[in-house]
Amino acid sequence: MAKIIDGKKIAKELNEKTSDEVKKLLVKDNIVPGLVVIIVGDDEASYRYVRNKHRTAQKLGINSIVDSQPATISENELIDLINKYNNDDQINGILVQDPLPSGIDEKKITKAIDPKKDVDGFHPLNVGKLFLDDSTNYPVACTPKGIITMLDYYNIDIKGKNAVVIGRSAIVGKPMGALLLNRGASTTIIHRYTKDIYEYTRNADIVVSATGQVHLLGQDAFKKGAVIIDVGQNRDENGHLVGDVDFEDASNQASYITPVPGGVGPMTIATLMQQTVELTKWSKENGE
């Protein structure tokens, strides 16, 4: 049976380190990291997620602001709001929660965020640095960054391995592929138009799945000893949270595997908090 990658445990330890860093900034420099999450409209799932972020930030000593805006806000008004926080020295991280109402261009909103406060790592400048494997400090998409933290925690070697990422989103798939490539893996990104995904997954040492399809992958999708990272957050016919991978079945093939829930999920928020503090420290180092 595979060894379970315990995302809850790693996230807890990461949050403890983040809390310690927040205390050091306060004692040494009288600085409190500031995070603002802008949420537009009344999507209940988004509000639940934002509340979890807010509670975690407060618990760690981060100054957390949730700025709720009506769905009727215009694109220009939203950009003006972002610029207000761009120019606020007390705010180190800015996040605009998806989804946004129709009529608002998400790409324009992402570009409006100051790259130095882009806590989600989605600004084109930061994405470019990631794909160039730039040597400077910059934020990276939180879920992929959290996955790398998990692999490192269990001393899972990436260099020289065959890695397959299922899904090509800007949130997970593309940055995940870049991070693995930067760490020396031979990386392939496959997606809905790939004709035979098993042709790729069965030869992979590391598989990261982010498709949003319930139990798409069983043990016959993987080679013996594969490391399986399941990013899926899906609801089955009984309303239970499950992943892309049939956990019980695939565990027979894997050397390491993440459960759903309790795997990647907790790492995303923990990494968001970590990155908020990192942005604060980088800003201080640059005298900004």
Active site residues: 53, 97, 120
Place of tokens 């319930």: 214
Give counts: helices (H), strands (E), the chain.
Answer: 10, 11
Amino acid at 144: P
Q: Alpha helix (H) ranges present in 92-141? A: 106-112, 124-131
What DSSP element (H or E) covers 64? strand 63-69
Beta-ladder partners of 94: 36, 118
Question: What SS3 class is residue 161?
Answer: coil
The Cα–Cα gap between 205 and 229 comes to 11
Taking phi first (over 0 means left), then psi (-120 to 50 degrees means alpha), and beta for anything else, what does residue 58 get? Answer: alpha
Among 229, 219, 222, 214, which Cα is nearest to 179's? 229
Element (H, E) at 10: helix 7-29
Render 227-258 in DSSP notation, one character per residue: EEEE---EE-TTS-EE-SB-HHHHTTT-SEE-
Instruction: Scan for tokens 């829930």, then name that residue.
Output: 261
Neighbours of 124 (CB within 10 A): 12
Read off the amino acid at residue 37. V
What are the Cα distances from residue 221, in Å, to 47, 262, 276?
35, 22, 37
